[in-house]
Homo-oligomer: A and B are copies of this chain.
Amino acid sequence: MSKIKLLLTYDGTDFHGWQRQPGVATVQGALEHVLTQIYSEPIRIVGSGRTDAGTHAVGQVAHFVPPKQILREERLVTALNALLPESIAVRAAWHAPEDFHSLFSAKRKTYLYRIWNHPIRSPLWAHRALWVPKPLDLKFLNLLSRGILGRKDFKSFQTSGTPVKSTVRLVDVCNWEVKHRHLVEFRIRGNGFLKQMVRNLVGTLLHLERHRGAAGAHLGELEHIFAAKDRQVAKTTVAAHGLYLYQVEYPRALDKRCRKL
């Protein structure tokens, strides 16, 4: 039996993150609960990675192994969306081959970090963006962010947790732009991300921006932080509620072997 691949959007506000935990609401837990209802036997799903409590997803990907063929499988997405809480939706589902794995097959991820950049906090962005009252110098932030591009050791930006073999990652997109009015968006794309790496990078960039003098000096400081390979040397982190897992990409050859339900 092949696997089923799901594309998911969720508002992370009311969840204790992605990962299943006994006694608290998590995204994985909610999905497994509903899938178990649909298939009438316990289902476990595997996500492309965890998201922290409060972090949102526009395009999280997960897979599971269906224990049996259910009738009218083409209605699985409709059934899931009818049963899931309104804070989670399934955007699409595919039959995926045996060798597809939402975590191990992922070749690239994109995250967004949103900032409400205005002297007055915004109730409409309260759980959706970090509030930064002072005007951000986007030109400076973009200049700094170039220092993140490339294949680098991100050890200094890793929050300790499950040990990983290598802390080297390739980042090929990293920029800041004004989305609309006072909403600033940081976008980063890479072949993988360490624990809280995006939040640690944004925290460090915002710290350097806040204490900015000559841009050159700060480029040097960022290099110094990379070179230290020590989380203690990196600056502060930022809140989880500004972060969105935007997209997870898989090899095209693998995508081609998936077919929509």
Query: Residues on A close to B: CB < 8 A?
Result: 9-11, 56, 58, 77, 81, 86-91, 120-124, 126, 128, 180
Residues of chain B within 8 A (CB-CB) of A10 are 123
Q: Which of A10, A89, A90, A124 has the most CB of B within 10 A?
A: A124
Q: Residue of B at shortest CB range from A126?
A: B86
Give the complex CA separation of A124 and B127 in angstroms.
Answer: 11
Residues of chain B within 8 A (CB-CB) of A120 are 77, 81, 89-91
Give the complex CA separation of A38 and B7 in angstroms.
Answer: 49
Residues of chain B within 8 A (CB-CB) of A124 are 9, 11, 56, 58, 128
With both chains docked as a complex, state the minimum distance between the C-beta of A204 and any C-beta of chain B, in angstroms: 26
Q: Residue of B at shortest CB range from A77?
A: B120
Residues of chain B within 8 A (CB-CB) of A89 are 120-123
Other than the given A56-B124, A81-B120, 16 more pairs (CB < 8 A) read: A9-B122, A9-B123, A10-B123, A11-B123, A58-B124, A77-B120, A86-B123, A87-B123, A87-B126, A88-B123, A89-B120, A89-B121, A89-B122, A89-B123, A90-B120, A91-B120
User: How many identical chains are in the complex?
Assistant: 2
Residues of chain B within 8 A (CB-CB) of A122 are 9, 89
Residues of chain B within 8 A (CB-CB) of A58 are 124
Q: Which 6 A-B pairs have the closest CB atoms?
A: A11-B123, A86-B126, A87-B123, A89-B123, A10-B123, A9-B123
Q: Residue of B at shortest CB range from A121?
A: B89
Residues of chain B within 8 A (CB-CB) of A86 are 121, 123, 126
What would be 9 A-B contacts, judged by CB atoms less than 8 Å apart? A9-B122, A81-B121, A86-B121, A86-B123, A86-B126, A88-B123, A89-B121, A91-B120, A124-B128
Give the complex CA separation of A66 and B221 in angstroms.
Answer: 51
Whether A126 lies near B11 (C-beta < 8 A) is yes
Give the complex CA separation of A87 and B128 in angstroms.
Answer: 12
Q: Residue of B at shortest CB range from A128?
A: B124
With both chains docked as a complex, state the minimum distance between the C-beta of A217 and any C-beta of chain B, in angstroms: 33
Residues of chain B within 8 A (CB-CB) of A11 are 123-124, 126
Give the complex CA separation of A121 and B56 in angstroms.
Answer: 15
Residues of chain B within 8 A (CB-CB) of A81 are 120-121
Give the complex CA separation of A109 and B149 in angstroms.
Answer: 48
Give the complex CA separation of A126 and B77 in angstroms.
Answer: 18
Residues of chain B within 8 A (CB-CB) of A126 are 11, 86-87
